[in-house]
Structures are given as structure tokens and as C-alpha cells.
Amino acid sequence: MSVTVDKQDLAINSDQQTLALNWINGEWVDSAQHTDSINPATGEVIGTYADSGRDEAALATNAAVQAFRESDWKDNRALRARVLNQTADRFEARREELIRILSLENGKIHAEAAFEVDMIPSKFRYWASVVLTNYGRALEVVPGHLSVVTRSAIGVAGIIAPFNSPLVLTVRSLAPALAAGVTTVTVIKLPGNTAQINYVFSKVLAEVPDLPKGVINVFSESKGRGGSSFLVESKDIRVISFTGSTKTGKAISATGAKTLKLFQTELGGKTPMIIFDDADLEAAAPKVEKALTTFAGQFCMTGSRLLVQRAVADRFRTLITQRLQNVKPGPASDPSSDMGPLIDKSNVSRVDKMLARKKVYQEIAKARRRNIYRRVEESQPHSSILDDPQSFLSSDS
């Protein structure tokens, strides 16, 4: 059950910690369940949030549908451009607060948090300019007959953003949706483990003077609460923007196809870094280090694989090992920290399991190599694996 909260009681619980609320139809909305917000660097509780689900998703969707049908938002390009510029101004005004909460709850060190926040205003301003250049297409199909194509707003869009860059990855979808007149009225679902960030994000939007009620609606939910599923299933949501795993992207695409939704997805993948033997290894090493450690590796452009040509592999391994040994992990509150924490305990456990598997795989690989070389020496002492690698690989199956 959702509850509208009076502004005088906004966001304070009995322990004087922040209660991060949803922002729906221009109102601050509570939910029946509250969940703790955690500082990933220390495990300490830094606040609580209204942990939403299907009820709040339905409320947000209904507000967006009403705003789309009853306001002139979809038709008033001047209003949209003005609101986008005002939003950019408000994000600049709250820059330091956004950097602080992004570091505290998301674990980004100060430079990483500042990089994310500073990308936001220009995105709103760019799309504010695009709003005023609306265009269609016209051609004379036969003499005296014109075929005209115009652009019109499609309806309500749902934005499902990830935890790793919750602000800029939301704005990346939100700004063009507001501007284009195609996906103008928007429902935003943000992850529960960035709820305090989501709340400050919503406060920025609430301060935009000309933004009509219901045009943007924001709710936070933890995993499995059903809010995201509602957006994907709802016939009132015409467009979904999703950033996340390939597995989830496939699932929501299959579900959304039943209501002929349009999708914009950025899904998971591998990002190999390749070092050839003619590379400047001293120049490459610091870039590889940053690629591996930016936001503790929780980033779509993080280098998840390192492929090095054999002739320089040992030398580069030494260089990158030395650099990684000098990286200082720590909380974002410590200016000397080079890398912040993983986002939560489940991700720590996931990485620990990967390291444990790595040790097992290393032993298996060593045993396989010993077995291959032993058989080579016994049967073909003068040959090499490089002479006929497939025969040795197939014989080891």
C-alpha cells in the first residue's frame, strides 16, 4: 500500500536518518515496506527507504498516463526545452550533495562520483536544443501528391536503471525521452541499493519549477518486489529502456513483446584488452590498471579480460602486478583511496567464489600441461605442441 507523505514530515525517521521516499505525481510517496540503506565501505546503515513494488509501479504508471493524456507536455516543445534547461540548472546547484551521496552509498571515490555527476547537465542542455529542431519528412510521390511523415509522442516510457551509475545512466535515457516527444512521459525504476541517491535525484526533479506533475515518476525497489515486472507487463508502458544483464534483457524483451513494446537495451558483455608485442608496455600498464579498478570493476567498460601476446606476457604481467599491488582500496571518504568497495555482500561473495575457482582452474591447467608434455616426451620426443596443437588438444579430451 502506498501512502502520500506531508512535506513537513518529509524523509526523517525516529533515528533522524533519511527515509528515502518515492516521487510520484509530484508527491512524496511512502510504501508498506522499509529497507535499510547500507554504506558498502563499512556495512553501516545510513538510512532507510520506501521499498516499492507493483502497487507503487502502478501508481507511477497511472500518473504518467494521466499526464500524457491531460497535459500539453507532448505538444509543447517550448515547455519541454525550458524544463530540460531548468533541470540542468538544478543538477548543477546540487552538485556537491550528489557527489557526496554517490560516494557514500554507491562506493565511488570522489573523482569517479564527480565524473558521473558532471556529465549530467550537458545531456539535459543538449536535448533541450534538440527539442526545438523538430522535423518530419515530405516527398512528392506523384505530381501534385505529397507524402508527409511527422513525429508524435508514443506514450509512457519505463526506465529501468542499474546500480553502477544510477544517475547518468538514468539521465542518458530520461533526457531524450523528455525531449523527443516520442517517449515523453516517463516512469523511472531505480535499484534499492541506491535508494538514497534516488531520493536526492528526485529532490532535484521536484525543484524544477515548470515540470508538470506526473511527467516524471521515480520509485525504488529491492530485487524481486515486482515493480520492474509491472512496467514490462503493463499495456500502458509503450517503451522500455533497460540497462543490465543479458539474461534479464532477454527475459524482459520476451515479456514486453506480448504488448508490442519498443526496447532500448544496453546489456552485459565482455570487454577484452589486447596488448601486442610492439606496444609501449609502460604506457599501457597504467591504462590497464585504471580499466580494471574503475568503480571496483563494476562498470560496463571495465576490462574484464586481458589478452597479451606471448612474447611480452611475462614482462607485462610483472608491470601490471606491481601497479595493482600499489592500488589502495578504501572508503570514498578517505581521499587517499584509489578504489572503492564492491556494492554489497552478494557481490563480495561472488568475487570470492571466482577467486576460489581460479585456484582450482590453475591446478587443473598445470596438471593438463604436465600430462600433455609427458605424453609428448614419451611418444614424440622431437615434436612440439606448436607443430600440431589440435592433435594434442584432442588427445587430452
Contact between 86 and 210 under an 8 Å Cβ cutoff? The reply is yes
* Contacts of 320 by beta carbon, 8 Å cutoff, 6+ apart: 285, 288, 289, 306
Give dist(CA 201, CA 186) in Å, integer.
Answer: 15
Catalytic residue among 300, 363, 377, 378: 300
Catalytic residue among 266, 282, 289, 378: 266
For the beta sheet containing 27-30, the strands, ordered from the edge strand earlier in sequence to the opposite edge, are: 3-4, 27-30, 22-24, 216-221, 185-191, 156-160, 237-243, 262-266
Closest CA to 207 of 132, 66, 110, 97: 97
**Cell numbers describing residue 358:** 581460479
Residue 300 burial by CB count (10 A; 0-12/13-18/19+): exposed, middle or buried?
middle
* Contacts of 72 by beta carbon, 8 Å cutoff, 6+ apart: 79
Q: What's the angle, vertex CA 265, arms to CA 260 and CA 268, rounded to 5?
A: 135
Residue 339 burial by CB count (10 A; 0-12/13-18/19+): exposed, middle or buried?
buried
Q: Which residues of 309-337 are buried (b: 16+ CB within 10 A; e: fewer)?
A: eeebeeebeebbeebeeeeeeebbeeeeb
300 is catalytic: yes
Give dist(CA 64, CA 58) in Å, integer.
Answer: 10
56 is catalytic: no
* Contacts of 170 by beta carbon, 8 Å cutoff, 6+ apart: 159, 161, 188, 190, 201
Dihedral sign, Cα of residue 335, residue 338, residue 344, residue 345: negative
Catalytic center residues: 266, 300
